[in-house]
A = this chain, B = another copy of it.
């Protein structure tokens, strides 16, 4: 118990849920929004901007990376994170497909 029974669902269902899940935390939303306000890459002024501990931010960044929503390039002693634009668009398109395919005229 306690574990999601992933084997009961299709690969696509699990993948969709994974994207949604990663986006399902306000800190990760805030990180994405902050990154997007910067014209150039930012590193981790995120810690100051968001106000969570460095370890926590790093963990959230790791999750965003796990679905390739962001990419990080090492730049000297810091790491430059930015949105993976191609991936961003393909995920948006995936989610729209899901929304468009899932609608009913009942009730």
Residues of A within 8 A of B (CB): 4-6, 8-10, 13-14, 16-30, 32-33, 35-36, 38-41, 50-52, 71, 73, 80, 82-83, 85, 88-89, 91-92, 95-96, 98-99, 101-107
Q: A20-B20, A33-B101, A91-B99 are in contact. List 13 more A-B contacts (CB 8 A).
A: A8-B50, A16-B26, A17-B23, A20-B21, A20-B29, A29-B98, A36-B103, A40-B106, A71-B107, A80-B107, A88-B102, A88-B103, A89-B103
Copies in the complex: 2
Contact A5 B102 (CB under 8 A): no
Known A8-B52, A71-B107, A88-B103; contact A13-B38, beta-carbon cutoff 8 A: no
